Amino acid sequence: MSVIKLLSPRLANQIAAGEVVERPASVLKELVENALDAGAGHIDVDVEQGGVKLIRVRDNGSGISKEDLPLALSRHATSKIASLEDLEAVGSLGFRGEALASISSVSRLALTSRTEEQEAANKVEVEGRDMDARLSPAAHPVGTTVEVRDLFFNTPARRKFLRTEKTEFGHLEECLRRQALGRFDTGFTLRHNQKVVQSLRPAPTQLDKERRIGALCGQKFIDNAVVIDAEATGLRLWGWVALPTFSRSQADLQYFFVNHRVIRDRLVAHAVRQAYRDVLYNNRHPAFVLYLEVDPATVDVNVHPTKHEVRFRDGRLVHDFIFRTLHKALADVRPDDHLRGVM
Ligand code: ADP
Ligand code: MG
């Protein structure tokens, strides 16, 4: 007798959801990434009750056509890559074609969208994947709105792990902070329980960028930061690093982006720590917001489903470049430089 059975698509999606959907903030991350990949100029986020009751992300990006709407909710369905070559040089934030399938298997999801070519918008709705997707006409400007309600309503074991509204909202805010730091050319609005919590216009100039950093990371950080901008063959590193006098007791103000994607990487962390070694006490942590731009083909982002980790083809080169750039910038700081923001 055969004992091996194929999992139902719903169960397969719920299992996959375990990897990417841990809490409301993980849903927000995936939805905002999709909006950014669609070229949105502005992203509007509404959350209720720490995101457990509602997460709504509205964008003015390219939109999804009527034919593609049900496909967008299918597993392993993506418009972003079609081949291994594409994957190896992927420039978009998404490419696994799993997020919407996973999220819709553990929530009540509605996806409304309209493309430039379409006269009217369309909407698909699914509830924990218990039924086929319902498609209906809808009103919506060009762009997309994804509404995720009652997260984990059908997976009580996961729901139990959710924290208080305040804690979950803290994670949502941190998620949006990362996205907004990663994309200065996009505007963001965040509302919690109908109150505007964060409102950021696109930040094209250096001054606009520093204002946004001030709004997201605190004015004190930007007032005490050294501007970084360096290039080497195929690499560019730019951003802001805090003066050693603005060190922190926790590693809570450290943002490192590789091609717009926020990452945590041991090699990068080591390079930064080394650069600060002579100027920071042992138990203190540097603060920084840094952007590394590299040829996408020289970095592998397909290391983990959440894509928080990357692998550099030439890790040594990247490490040395970061170390040298920061070390020099910190050594060049003149004693009165830190007064920059005070004057
Ligand atoms: P991935 O982002 O890895 O492709 P997702 O499950 O997140 O997978 O999304 C599936 C597909 O749905 C995307 O490839 C894209 O074509 C479409 N899509 C999702 N969200 C949006 C959006 N906000 N705007 C335009 N298209 C979207
Ligand atoms: Mg995606």
**Predicted confidence (pLDDT) per residue in 229-263, tens digit:** 999 989 999 999 999 999 899 999 999 999 989 99
Task: Return the pLDDT at 343.
Answer: 39
pLDDT for 337: 53
Percent with pLDDT over 90 in the chain: 78
Atom of ligand 1 at shortest distance to CA of 97?
A: 8
Instruction: Quote the Cα angle for 108-113-116, to 5°.
Output: 175
Given the candidates 3.30.540.10, 3.30.565.10, 3.40.50.720, 3.30.365.10, the CATH classification of the domain at 9-200 is 3.30.565.10
Q: Which atom of ligand 1 is the closest one to the Cα of 101? A: 6
For the segment 167-185, what is each residue's pLDDT rounded down to a tens digit? 999 999 999 999 999 999 9
For 236, how many CA atoms within 13 A lie in the half-sphere containing its CB? Answer: 8
For the chain, give the mean pLDDT: 93
Query: Cβ neighbours of residue 2 under 8 Å, at least 6 residues apart?
Result: none
Find out whether the beta carbon of 38 lies less than 6 Å from any atom of ligand 1: yes
CA angle 114, 104, 132 (to 5 degrees): 80
Beta pairing class for 225-232 and 235-242: antiparallel
Q: Ligand 1, atom 1: nearest CA belongs to which residue?
A: 97
Predicted local confidence at residue 312, as pLDDT? 94
Which ligand sits nearest to residue 76's alpha carbon?
1
71 CA to centre of ligand 1 in angstroms: 9
Whole-model pTM?
0.93
What separation, in Å, do the N-terminal and C-terminal C-alpha atoms of the chain show?
Answer: 81
DSSP label of 78: -
SS3 of residue 18 by DSSP? helix
- Domain spans of the chain? 9-200, 206-339
pLDDT value of position 18: 81
ipTM of the complex, rounded to two decimals: 0.99
Q: pLDDT under 70 in the chain at which residues?
A: 130-131, 334-343
* pLDDT value of residue 302: 81
Q: How many residues does the chain have?
A: 343
- Distance (Å) from CA 100 to ligand 2 centroid: 7
Which ligand has the shortest distance to the CA of 102? 1
Report which protein residue has its CA nearest ligand 1's atom 10: 72
Question: In angstroms, what is the span from residue 101 Cα to ligand 2's centroid?
Answer: 10
Q: Do domains 9-200 and 206-339 have the same CATH topology?
A: no
Alpha-carbon distances of 76 from 13, 26, 71, 111, 268, rounded to whole Å: 10, 18, 9, 17, 31
Residue 341 confidence (pLDDT) = 44
Q: Tell me if 35 CB under 6 Å of ligand 1.
A: yes
Q: What's the topology of domain 206-339?
A: Ribosomal Protein S5; domain 2 (3.30.230)
State if residue 104 touches ligand 1 by the CB under 6 angstroms criterion: no
Task: Indicate the top mutation candidate among 13, 32, 37, 261 to test ligand 1's pocket, ranked by most ligand atoms within 8 A of CB.
Answer: 37
C-alpha of residue 104 to centroid of ligand 2, in Å: 13
Does ligand 1 have an atom closer than 6 angstroms to the CB of 176?
A: no
**22 CB burial (10 A radius; 0-12, 13-18, 19+):** middle
Q: What is the pLDDT of residue 282?
A: 81
Beta bridge partners of 294: 235
